[in-house]
Amino acid sequence: KGGFIEWTPMETYRQTMDVNFFGHVAMTKKFLPLLTSRRGSRIVNLCSSAGFLAPPGLSAYNASKFALEAFSDTLRREMHGWGLHVSIIEPGYMRTPIIDGLDHRYQELWSGVDEDTKARWGNEYFNSYLDVLKKDFFLLNAENPAKVVKALRHAVTNTCPRLRYRPGWQSSLVLFPLSMLPAWIADVIVAKKRGGTISPAGIMEQIE
């Protein structure tokens, strides 16, 4: 579920963390005794480029993926002596249901925002943001999820699994290099990528 921080209810954060983070933690803790009973066992966590580069409008999702990245790194380092391999897969945008009907889900989210918050942001800004989202280069060029399957297969079956996989050009050639830039430069690039010429209503009132 997407949405700016002010638009997103706390319940959405809890649900997203339950699915994308606490579920992984619970399953890992449940099976660790079995996995560590034999050296060479493997854990492969499907994360996201949103786990190392947080785009605006996806705060709950970003937070859950950053948490899973940190958990996976910690797990790998703690379990190194046990011979447990931990791999992380960090794809960019893939052609999956998560990006289908994205504008409709934003509309549903916006309809539940309280009137004071709506007034500060403004319907004009929201509609402009939706227009920008529909033209997003990465969403329009979402990649084949078979690339993720290929990475999963390698992580599970190869004799030398990698620590991290970034399947597809979005994650490996654009988003990860962008995340390595100084934060202020990355902020400027992300802001330009989002585009849009309309400011929130509250900002326009401050300027006037």
Among candidates 93, 176, 90, which has minimal Cα distance to 137? 93
Of the residues 61, 93, 125, 165, only one is catalytic, namely 61
**Residue 61 annotated as catalytic:** yes
State both tokens at 139.
């969403």
b/e burial code for range 29-65 (CB count within 10 A of at least 16 → b)? eeebeebeeeeebebbbbbbbbbbbbbebbbbbbbbb
Give the phi and the psi of residue 112 in degrees, each rounded to 5.
-95, 0
The label of the residue with tokens 């859950």 reads: 64
Task: Return the active site residues.
Answer: 61
